[in-house]
Amino acid sequence: MEHIRLPKVDNARLLDRVSPRRSKVGTLYLTATHTIFVESEAGVRNETWVLHSLVCRLEKQGATDSGCPLLIHCKNFQVLRFVIPREQECHDVLLSLQRLSQPESYEELYCVTYKPNVDEEERRQEWDFMDLKADYSRMGLPNSLWKLSPVNQHYKVSDTYPADLFVPESATPPVIVGSSKFRSRGRFPTLSYYSKENHAAICRSSQPLSGFSARCLEDEQMLEAILRSNPRSDFMYVVDTRPKLNAIANRAAGKGYENEDNYSNIKFQFIGIENIHVMRNSQQKMLEVSQLHSPSMSDFLEGLESSGWLRHIKAVLDAGIFIAKAVAEEGVSVLVHCSDGWDRTAQVCSVACVLLDPYYRTLRGLMVLIERDWVSFGHKFSHRCNHLVGDPKEVSPIIDQFLECVWQLMEQFPCAFEFNERFLITIHSHIYSCQFGNFIGNNQRERTDLRLLERTHSLWSYLWTNRAVYINPLYRANHSQTQGLLRPSTAPYCFKFWKGLYNRFDQGMHPRQSVEDYLSAIQEETQQLEEQLASHKQKIAHLEKEQGWNSVTQKTAPFDNSPTAWAHGNNLNMANTPQDYTGGFITSSPCQPKAPDSSLILLSQDLTKTSEFNLSNSSDQESGIADLSCRSPLSEDSTKDPDSDEAANLFT
């Protein structure tokens, strides 16, 4: 609280980006963890909360007659436009937020003070939810070809690698250590993914310290061991994800790439994904375009093209496709690296896994994949996501690009993923929010030293507990899209701008209800109909038994598509009435249907047709709930002879 110069500002205004004239007046509060805006309109208690850890940039504009504008740009792409009544108040808020949004130590992060209402035992169980060893076991590891090596216990070989690593069975500790000394940051080749169907593997490392002519016998033996671990192939790919010019430039610094003359039976491949600085600038240009106020079509498309953002997404996907095809179709193992092996390497390996393995297209599977290829293998989350005040040149949207690659695949294969877009967006938000301990620190060793498992909560357990809201209603486990290798198209017209992520806070620019929510509502409605149908059948059976109408119902051909069942006779209190549907959506109808004149029991025979009827032109497109008001075939003209052609046509 000592960093807060002004805890409260009255009569602040929050502007709408789409309609700046439409503003909300209220009180702005600064707390130790959040900026809170509370509307002061009578009878309204709307609040806007923003975590300080999500703030990435503050912009104070020139004072006007109405006040001093202050723009808050957030890492989740929300932009808040406040107008502070007095310039001095605006200055105090600015200085306060600058310090609060740039913590200087891990102790200041929100995850340390975040205390949900759970006991200590439950908090420990949250971290037990994620078990990477179980995923390796699912792959069939360890086996006669790959072993779990203790060589990096206590992080003594590479301080940015995890402690548990899988290496070829024939790789001895001297070979592993020798290889690590020839690789940047000691990140020697190790297993990322194993295909038990054909023994092909995806391995990862950093660039070799080859310079112009240096070589290392142990490193060459390490790649030979990886090749021998795939008995069905006589060569392996080495994929350098950097542009060739960048890799050549690194040779001058004593680094570089593998010389095919020194490594036997390898095929070398450059991919051409740009570095973190290009990606940072590209995203910033793309965001400037997406945040334009009422841009023309040409301005938007030209700005998006000049940003190069979708070209970079395509480059990452192309690399993942190359590796996935090598493993699945050629049965060839692949070694992937970039410079240090924690940015482009993580992107490419994880995209390839999503393409290869349906498990990583499930809720739990994607969480396991991020935990393994990003968290465990040392993606520098604190630096890339700017968790602490530091070098701005280290910030880059590498994890954003991976999540967008997954979303682009979901757009091409809508039935192949168990999770929906909301799942990806929630993960993205919490990577930057620092509310959970999963993405704090730059590697496993740092997280161990910070004792995060003892002091913070896990995002994965939270997502799994609330998984119902992240389910894709189109997902089918036995669908052809769900099985085996995905083969996406990377033609330019297949890539889309992800407005659901970059413009999701622009109110008025999106439908009131997403397609996924609408489909979920239809599924829920269908389930209600099925339950009602079962209830109706039970009631009809009960009526038949008590009234002895079996002979009548056998003579009468069923022809009603309505979910309503009617009975006629002296004992009308036993008939189904509108009150029987309490709790169902049918009670929303303002019309009370009339009972037919003839002694008939109208059965709902075709649930599919009933569902189609419910989704007719009378459906409420905003709420997603069907409106059956005045549409029942039993209302108005239903007193006509049901045996007539005209009446029969009503039910076809």
Looking at the annotation, which residues are catalytic? 338
Alpha carbons 257 and 337: distance in angstroms, whole number: 9
Gyration radius of the chain's alpha carbons = 31
> To 5 degrees, how large is the angle CA 197–CA 171–CA 342?
75
Alpha carbons 420 and 76: distance in angstroms, whole number: 18
Given CA atoms 346, 351, 354, 357 in this order, what sign does their dihedral have? Answer: negative
The DSSP 8-state label assigned to residue 181 in this structure reads H
Alpha carbons 549 and 566: distance in angstroms, whole number: 13
- Strand-pairing partners, residue 167, are 147
Report the number of secondary-structure helices (H) and strands (E) in the chain: 23, 14
Helix axes 276-290, 309-325, angle to 10 degrees: 130
Q: Which candidate, 561, 562, 652, 634, places its Cα nearest to that of 591?
A: 634
Q: Tokens in use for 338?
A: 């970039």
Alpha carbons 616 and 40: distance in angstroms, whole number: 42
List the 79-84 sheet strands across, edge first: 47-51, 34-39, 23-30, 8-15, 79-84, 68-74, 55-60
Q: Could you give the count of Cα atoms lying within 13 Å of 558 in the half-sphere of its Cβ?
A: 13
User: Looking at this protein, which amino acid is placed at residue 283?
Assistant: Q
Alpha carbons 41 and 345: distance in angstroms, whole number: 52
Backbone angle region of 624, left / alpha / beta, with phi > 0 → left and psi within -120 to 50 → alpha: left
Q: Which candidate, 409, 285, 270, 281, places its Cα nearest to that of 344?
A: 270
Please write down the HEC assignment for all residues of 292-324.
Answer: CCCCCHHHHHHHHHHHCHHHHHHHHHHHHHHHH
Please write down the HEC assignment for all residues of 345-394.
Answer: HHHHHHHHHHHHCHHHHCHHHHHHHHHHHHHHCCCCHHHHCCCCCCCHHH
Alpha carbons 592 and 638: distance in angstroms, whole number: 13
Q: Tokens in use for 349?
A: 């390996």
Burial 307-344 (b: 16+ CB within 10 A, else e): bbbbebbbbbbbbbbbbbbbbbeeebbbbbbbbbbbbb
- For β-strands 334-337 and 236-240, DSSP reports them as parallel
Q: Which candidate, 540, 570, 572, 542, places its Cα nearest to that of 556?
A: 540
3-state helix, strand, coil in the chain (%, to 5): 45, 15, 45
Helix (H, G, I), strand (E, B) or coil at 268: strand
Helix (H, G, I), strand (E, B) or coil at 165: strand
CB neighbours of residue 488 within 10 Å: 18
